[in-house]
Amino acid sequence: MTTYQELIAQKAELDRQQAELDKQIADTLRNERAGVISQIKSLMAEHGISVTDLASSGRPGRPPKIGIAEPGTTRKVAAKYRDPDTGESWSGRGLKPKWLTAAIENGRSLTDFAV
């Protein structure tokens, strides 16, 4: 039967082996990655591809689209009209809000609310 001291020694040996294997794995991955990067760079040079070509929308020779929203997303538009009494605002798009329609009917003009 093995003693406690022998089990501790076996565990220490296994921990050392694990550390060596971890180092070998890390070295192998680093070397493989360097080889793949080198291969990619040579293929890019061979075909005249730049990093900006990779970021483009799939069409070679065209710069990437910048500032265009993703489909299905909306952007908030700045307010063009604001009620100083209530703080309500309207961007000028879509239907006029009821507060603005009521104010215009009461004799105020749209320019009174311009931001």
pTM: predicted TM-score of the whole model, two decimal places: 0.41
Give the start-to-end residue ranges of the domains of the chain. Answer: 4-55, 81-113
What CATH code would you report for 81-113?
4.10.430
Provide mean pLDDT across the span 75-90: 87
Half-sphere exposure of 24 (CA within 13 A, CB side): 6
Pair 100, 113: CB distance under 8 Å: yes
Pair 113, 81: CB distance under 8 Å: yes
Bridge partner list, 81? 90, 114
Mapped onto helix, strand or coil, the DSSP state of residue 98 is helix
Q: What is the pLDDT of residues 26-79, one digit of tens each?
A: 999 999 999 999 999 999 999 898 888 777 655 555 655 666 666 677 778 888
> How far, in Å, CA of 94 to CA of 73, rounded?
18
